[in-house]
């Protein structure tokens, strides 16, 4: 950044002369501006991500309510009374230490 700025300064006019005081002050300003400019791109990305997230949340919250009658809800007590539940007496469950088939991920 410094070299390009100094070259532009010198080549833009014949009256522009790069002296030591101008060079040191310019380099000090460049070093002061370096970290805020680096953070600027991160801030822009975070603001855009927040905007997208906000739109998604607004869309979700503005959706119409689901029809409560679309699902038949049965209480646990009525399941037990109707005999529709599964009951296991004296069951014994355990994991096998031996793996018969290796786990393979398939598409």
Average pLDDT across each block of 10 residues of the chain; the chain has 107 residues. List them in order. Answer: 85 87 90 89 95 96 80 63 65 74 68
Task: Give CA–CA dist 72/66, Å, rounded.
Answer: 13
Q: What is the pLDDT of residue 58?
A: 95
Residue 18 near residue 9, CB atoms below 8 Å = yes
Q: pTM to 2 decimals?
A: 0.42
C-alpha distances in angstroms, 40 versus 34, 46, 47, 51?
10, 10, 11, 17
> Among residues 30, 38, 32, which one has the least CA distance to residue 4?
30
Residue 26 near residue 5, CB atoms below 8 Å = yes
Q: What is the pLDDT of residue 66?
A: 75
Orientation of helix 2-12 relative to helix 20-62, angle to 10°: 120
Domain ranges of the chain: 2-64
């Amino acid at each position: 950044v410094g070299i390009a700025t100094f070259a532009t300064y010198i080549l833009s006019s014949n009256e522009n002369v790069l002296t030591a005081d101008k060079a040191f002050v310019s380099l000090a300003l460049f070093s002061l501006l370096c970290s805020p400019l680096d953070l600027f791109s991160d801030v822009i990305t975070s603001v855009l991500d927040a905007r997208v997230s906000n739109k998604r949340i607004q869309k979700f919250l503005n959706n119409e309510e689901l029809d409560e009658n679309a699902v038949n809800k049965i209480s646990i007590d009525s399941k037990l009374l109707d005999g529709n539940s599964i009951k296991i007496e004296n069951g014994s469950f355990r994991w096998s230490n031996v793996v018969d088939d290796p786990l393979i991920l398939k598409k």
